[in-house]
Amino acid sequence: KIKKGSITTKIIKEAIKKKVAEDVLSISHIEDKIARFAQSYLFAHTPHFFDVYLDNIKKVKKNEVVSAANSFFDFSRTVITILKPVLTEKEKKKKIYSKNSLKPELITLKNGLKVILKEDHSIPKTHAKLISLGGLRNETSKNNGIGHFVSELLGKETKNHTKQQLQNLFEGNGAHFQAHVGNNTFYCNLACLAEDFQTLLPIFKDAIFNTKFSESEIKELKRLTLQWISQRTDDWHSHGYYHFKKEFYQNHPYQLNILGEEKTVSKFTKKDLESYYTSLFSTNEMVLSIVGDFDKKKTISKLNALFGSLKIKKPEPKKLSRKSHTKMSNQHFDIPQNVGAIFMGFDGETFKNTKNCVKLDLLNTIVSGMAYPTGRLHQELREKGLVYMVHATNQAGCETGHFLINALTSKKNINDVLKIINRELKQVQNAPTSKKEFEQAIAQMKFYYKDRASSTESLTLMMSIDELYGRGFNYYETINKEIDNLDKKDIQITAKKYLKNAQLFTFSKKD
């Protein structure tokens, strides 16, 4: 249609507006500006390349779009690539791709440690993950950031291996060892070639349980962490989300920042770090998962030898509570970036309430797309060229989490964007969703979960977390049944139940 000229001037103007908005709003912090100048010189030996580029976009006419379409949309030169699994006769006989051979299995070592095993011999790689309850829920305003600090030091040096030896063992084999901290968990990852897994598994265990903290590493990490904290305001999203969490989750550890604060990080001592570290993986609140190409019999034998002797304590479950918001609030913050940002939060759900979590995922899909830029807000706001991005997220927690709508716009458009967001939320609360929109949302949800499970690394995390949170290690295999049980009416019911007492935070540059 475009090649034939079946395109209106209105569509051209809307496209120009979207492109200009996309370009301008993508510049949110100093790194973007530096990269922009560098690219300008690289492309045209001038710092003004993008200025000229935008001016030219604004001047584009319908006939030029049609001409470009005819020049470049040459279907005789189109290349289409399709990837699909093809089994050889030998593979078919062995049934190495059959679902039964790839079913995950939960075993328990003699000391009570839960281990999830899932064989996948399609690619010669293996992922291992040891995950424990903790994260920000185990921090306070006095030691905030200690989890992240320790995670950065894990695997640097152990009582049995020097820093250089560990680098040679991991990086020398193309393997990766990393530790991470989240809202509710602390976990360590190993990703390696299948041929190296049996060799690196003892090193993985050593890096986790025998880390040695050196004063020189602590000093350098303090310098880096304080630098990262100082750069928090350089990015509109990290700055905005920092304030959103702090205000939304008052009096609960979820309000804390992963990096911590300058006043806490600067005071960390070696003794503080060692005390926190010894509490990390010494409880029954941890799960070890292994996914990929490995020999099951050899692996179980080695796991019993390496991890079976660990002392698993059984502490009292940590009891925290969080009060739901009972009224709306509206706060504004100044930021250095010349943009407008919106964070609109609502009380969400806990991990254990899986049915309501899935219903909130359905609402999320209708409102903004399930991890993909679709949904009503995207269509309304992007079509009008009012936002660079708009998205909603449903984040559950051990205690009540949040349902967050986030948009990046310009300062002058903040109020218009808010009007449309509020209008669409009222619409989804008060008017039935069409059958077509509901079916599209269901299909998108199923694809999202299937896509996540197709990644070895993602699946390792999913199974570990689901088992840790009490949903069961194979919850990902049953999620489609929960999605199939959803009804069109659930959208309105869920919207009315959760989209209330909005906590609104807006951000823009001070005049």
Q: What does 220-268 look like in DSSP terms, one character per residue?
A: HHHHHHHHHHHTGGGSHHHHHHHHHHHHHTTTSGGGS-SS--HHHHTT-
pLDDT interval class at 9 (50, 70, 90): confident
List pLDDT tens digits, range 481-495. 999 999 999 999 999
List pLDDT tens digits, range 254-290. 999 999 999 999 999 999 999 999 888 877 789 999 9
Query: Which pLDDT belongs to residue 311?
Result: 83
- The answer for residues whose C-beta is within 8 angstroms of residue 247's C-beta and 6 or more apart is 255, 329, 331, 503, 505
- Is 395 found in the same domain as 248? no
Six-digit token pair at 230? 């100082």
Judge residue 154's burial from the number of C-beta atoms within 10 Å of its C-beta, 0-12 exposed, 13-18 middle, 19 or more buried: buried
CB atoms within 10 A of CB 263: 11
Asked, for residue 316, whether it belongs to a domain, the answer is no
Query: Which pLDDT belongs to residue 123?
Result: 84
Asked, for residue 57, whether it belongs to a domain, the answer is yes
Q: How far apart (Å, rounded) are the C-alpha atoms in residues 78 and 395?
A: 41
Asked, for residue 320, whether it belongs to a domain, the answer is no
Comparing 101 with 432, the larger pLDDT belongs to 432
Comparing 86 with 188, the larger pLDDT belongs to 188
CB atoms within 10 A of CB 106: 16
Contact 240, 341 (CB under 8 A): yes
Q: Which residue, 201, 153, 152, is CA-closest to 175?
A: 201
- Is 365 found in the same domain as 480? yes
pLDDT beyond 60 at 94: no
pLDDT interval class at 179 (50, 70, 90): very high
Six-digit token pair at 17? 């507006």
Contact 286, 130 (CB under 8 A): yes
Six-digit token pair at 78? 């189109």
pLDDT beyond 90 at 314: no
Query: Which pLDDT belongs to residue 90?
Result: 60
pLDDT interval class at 30 (50, 70, 90): low
- Is 61 found in the same domain as 188? no
- Is 487 found in the same domain as 389? yes
Q: Which of 274, 307, 340 is the last residue of a domain?
A: 307
Asked, for residue 153, whether it belongs to a domain, the answer is yes
pLDDT beyond 60 at 96: no
Amino acid at 426: K
Query: Which pLDDT belongs to residue 97?
Result: 45
**Helical residues (DSSP H) of 401-472, grouped into ranges:** 414-430, 435-453, 456-468
CATH number at residue 489: 3.30.830.10
State CA 217 to chain mean position distance: 28
Query: Which pLDDT belongs to residue 261?
Result: 97
Q: What burial letters (b/e) apply to 32-59, b meaning 16+ CB within 10 Å?
A: eeeebeeebeeeeeeeebbeeeeeeeee
Query: Which pLDDT belongs to residue 494?
Result: 98
Q: Which residue, 181, 186, 330, 326, is CA-closest to 244?
A: 330
- Is 242 found in the same domain as 362? no
Phi, psi of 4 (to 5 degrees): -90, -5
Q: How far apart (Å, rounded) are the C-alpha atoms in residues 19 and 388?
A: 9
Query: Which pLDDT belongs to residue 98?
Result: 47
Six-digit token pair at 505? 């935070």
Report long-range pairs for 1-5 (Cβ below 8 Å, ≥24 apart).
2/65, 2/66, 2/69, 2/73, 3/66, 3/69, 3/70, 3/73, 4/66, 5/62, 5/66
Residue 176, domain extent: 100-307
DSSP strand pairing (503-508 vs 329-334): parallel
Query: Which pLDDT belongs to residue 27?
Result: 65
Q: How far apart (Å, rounded) are the C-alpha atoms in residues 177 and 128?
A: 10
- Is 111 found in the same domain as 70? no
Asked, for residue 3, whether it belongs to a domain, the answer is no
Query: Which pLDDT belongs to residue 100?
Result: 38
pLDDT beyond 90 at 310: no
pLDDT interval class at 40 (50, 70, 90): confident
Q: Which residue, 243, 211, 254, 468, is CA-closest to 352?
A: 468
- Is 348 found in the same domain as 445? yes
Asked, for residue 457, whether it belongs to a domain, the answer is yes
Q: Which of 307, 341, 359 is the last residue of a domain?
A: 307
Summary mean pLDDT of the chain: 91
Query: Which pLDDT belongs to residue 187?
Result: 95
Query: Which pLDDT belongs to residue 15?
Result: 83
Question: Which region among 42-46, 293-297, 441-445 has the lowest average model confidence (pLDDT)?
Answer: 42-46
Q: Which residue, 470, 458, 472, is CA-closest to 189?
A: 458
pLDDT interval class at 384 (50, 70, 90): confident
pLDDT beyond 80 at 176: yes
Contact 361, 394 (CB under 8 A): yes
Number of domains in the chain: 3
Query: Which pLDDT belongs to residue 101?
Result: 47
Q: How far apart (Å, rounded) are the C-alpha atoms in residues 96 and 120?
A: 8
List pLDDT tens digits, range 319-363. 899 999 999 999 999 998 889 999 999 999 999 999 999 999 999
- Is 105 found in the same domain as 196? yes
Strand partners, 128: 190, 290
pLDDT beyond 50 at 104: yes
Q: Which of 20, 42, 77 is the last residue of a domain?
A: 77
Asked, for residue 223, whether it belongs to a domain, the answer is yes
Comparing 340 with 34, the larger pLDDT belongs to 340
Residue with tokens 């209106």: 8
Contact 328, 504 (CB under 8 A): yes
- Is 452 found in the same domain as 485? yes
Residue with tokens 């070696």: 270
Asked, for residue 71, whether it belongs to a domain, the answer is yes
Amino acid at 155: G
- Is 210 found in the same domain as 113? yes
Amino acid at 23: D
List pLDDT tens digits, range 180-232. 999 999 999 999 999 999 999 999 999 999 999 999 999 999 999 999 999 99
List pLDDT tens digits, range 120-172. 988 889 999 999 999 999 999 999 999 999 999 998 999 999 999 999 999 88
Q: How far apart (Å, rounded) are the C-alpha atoms in residues 56 and 64?
A: 12
